[in-house]
Amino acid sequence: MAEASDVGIVMVVRFRTRLDPEELQRRYRARMPRFRELPGLVQKHYFHDDATDEWGGVYLWESEEAMQGYLTSDLRASIAEAYEVDGTPQVQVLRVVEDLRT
């Protein structure tokens, strides 16, 4: 089986917010350039779960080290305030074992 650093790491973050959808979208779009600059972030997908009314992101990292760099960054520390998170975000980290496309 491939090592995490060989294929990547997926991090899924889910949260509820006190913001209306338009304001939340305005805020995350304004912050996108900062995420584009993150070393080792291959892709970030923003999502809304209609069933639970949760918002979040699916991050694909090149490596565990790249993800850890983000987790200790000021950008990560600002998420709860920037998106007026209600409660504690759920974070799930998964090791990618195979890619369909490269």
CA-to-CA separations, 7 to 53, 58, 59, 99, 102, in angstroms, rounded: 31, 16, 14, 7, 10
Q: Write down the pLDDT at residue 1.
A: 46
Residues 12-43 pLDDT 10s: 999 999 999 999 999 999 999 999 999 999 99
pTM over 0.75: yes
Q: Judge contact between 12 and 94, C-beta under 8 A.
A: yes
Residues 36-80 pLDDT 10s: 999 999 999 999 999 999 999 999 999 999 999 999 999 999 999
